[in-house]
Amino acid sequence: MSSRRPTRLVAGNWKMNTSVADGLDLARALRAGLDGSGVEVEVLPPFTHLVGVRDVLRGSSLRLGAQNCYAEDKGAFTGEISPLMLADICDDVLLGHSERRHVLGESDELIARKLVAARRHGLRVILAVGETESERLEDTTMAVIDRQLRSALEKLDEVSDGELVLAYEPVWAIGTGRTATPAQAEEVCVHIVTRLDQLLGEVASSVPVLYGGSVTADNAAELFGQPHIHGALVGGASLKVDAFTAIVRAAEVATAAAEQR
Ligand code: 13P
């Protein structure tokens, strides 16, 4: 396995929450507390909030991401948002989230097309992968992760530093309060790191691997203490300034500790 020191990242996926006004207030509060953090901090608000949040965050160190995009640049795709539209507003786009896969029925093939389209417009992609509870019980977790990684990444020509982030989000841990144990999360993140090395070669060592699924201020430090967990994709706790700030602080402490090793 390549030696890796990727950027640490704490990203808040707001999902379909907050009015525009409340979202802008949240962004202002996060900027006030987290600008200049020793780790990368990112927010992923709903599409309707992106331009306003971009203006709030302008000139700060916080990154801005969208929660999804379509696989085409333009055309008759009512209700969809293209990566061309996002490229002027955002840094990143989240693709393959379990709610897109399992609630909204996105296939591996569609996610792969979206990834190529997003990269064509220079967006960094946060690719989410993860098994359902029944897949874990059937002991197919690693096979599911392999399939999701291979299908998403095989159509990409080349990946350079800073173009890709992975997020391991076990579906059974999302929004349930049932966090994967640090050992469970680490086991799958190690597997992801190994596969990324095989699929991407040298650049894989710069790809952060995040954990997501019921991350809170209480469990973040232990998760970040695992050598192959480089940050978190946070849902519910990212809507609360205090909780999200505490998770970022835990990542800062873990980064400082890792640097001393
Ligand atoms: P929760 O933190 O609410 O479990 O959500 C995780 C998630 O899906 C982040 O993308």
Between the CA of residue 228 and those of 32, 92, 158, what are the distances in Å? 30, 22, 23
Q: In the predicted model, is pLDDT for residue 215 greater than 80?
A: yes
* 65 exposure class (CB count in 10 Å sphere: 0-12, 13-18, 19+): buried
Give the model's pLDDT for residue 54.
Answer: 98
Mean of the per-residue pLDDT values for the chain? 95
Between the CA of residue 45 and those of 12, 14, 152, 162, 250, what are the distances in Å? 8, 5, 23, 21, 22
Q: In the predicted model, is pLDDT for residue 87 greater than 50?
A: yes
User: pLDDT digits over 39-75, tens only?
Assistant: 999 999 999 999 999 999 999 999 999 999 999 999 9
Q: What percent of the chain has pLDDT over 90?
A: 90
Q: Rounded to an integer, what distance in angstroms lies between the CA atom of residue 234 and that of residue 181?
A: 16
CATH code where residue 82 lies: 3.20.20.70
Is residue 27 a part of any domain in this protein? yes
- State the pLDDT confidence band at 241, using cuts at 50, 70 and 90: very high
Q: What percent of the chain has pLDDT over 70?
A: 98
Mean pLDDT of 91-97: 98
Is residue 173 a part of any domain in this protein? yes
Residue 10 CA from chain centroid, whole number: 8
Who has greater pLDDT, 257 or 117?
117
Measured in Å, residue 169 CA sits from the centre of ligand 1 at 8
Give the model's pLDDT for residue 156.
Answer: 86
Residue with token string 């699924």: 213
Pocket-testing residue among 68, 101, 215, ligand 1, by greatest number of atoms within 8 A of Cβ: 215
- What's the total number of domains in the chain? 1
| pTM reported for the whole predicted model | 0.96
Integer-rounded Cα Rg, in Å, for the chain is: 17
Measured in Å, residue 75 CA sits from the centre of ligand 1 at 32
User: pLDDT digits over 133-169, tens only?
Assistant: 999 999 999 999 999 999 999 988 788 889 999 999 9
Mean pLDDT of 196-204: 93
Which atom of ligand 1 is nearest to 214's Cα? 4
Give the model's pLDDT for residue 4.
Answer: 61
Q: In the predicted model, is pLDDT for residue 110 greater than 60?
A: yes
Mean pLDDT of 234-249: 98
Ligand 1 site residues (CB inside 6 A) read 13, 97, 169, 174-175, 212-215, 233-237
- Which structural domain range is residue 104 located in? 9-260
Q: DSSP character for 240?
A: S
- State the pLDDT confidence band at 95, using cuts at 50, 70 and 90: very high
Mean pLDDT of 18-41: 98
Is residue 3 a part of any domain in this protein? no
Measured in Å, residue 13 CA sits from the centre of ligand 1 at 7
Measuring CA to CA, which residue among 77, 17, 37 is closest to residue 247? Answer: 37
The three-class DSSP label of residue 211 is: strand
One DSSP character per residue, 27-47 reads HHHHHHHHTT-SSEEEEE--G
Give the model's pLDDT for residue 39.
Answer: 97
Give the model's pLDDT for residue 2.
Answer: 47
Is residue 1 a part of any domain in this protein? no
One DSSP character per residue, 49-93 reads GHHHHHHHHTTSS-EEEES---SSSSSS-TT---HHHHHTT-SEE
Is residue 219 a part of any domain in this protein? yes
Residue 169 catalytic?
Answer: yes
Mean pLDDT of 189-193: 97
Is residue 189 a part of any domain in this protein? yes
Q: In the predicted model, is pLDDT for residue 3 greater than 80?
A: no
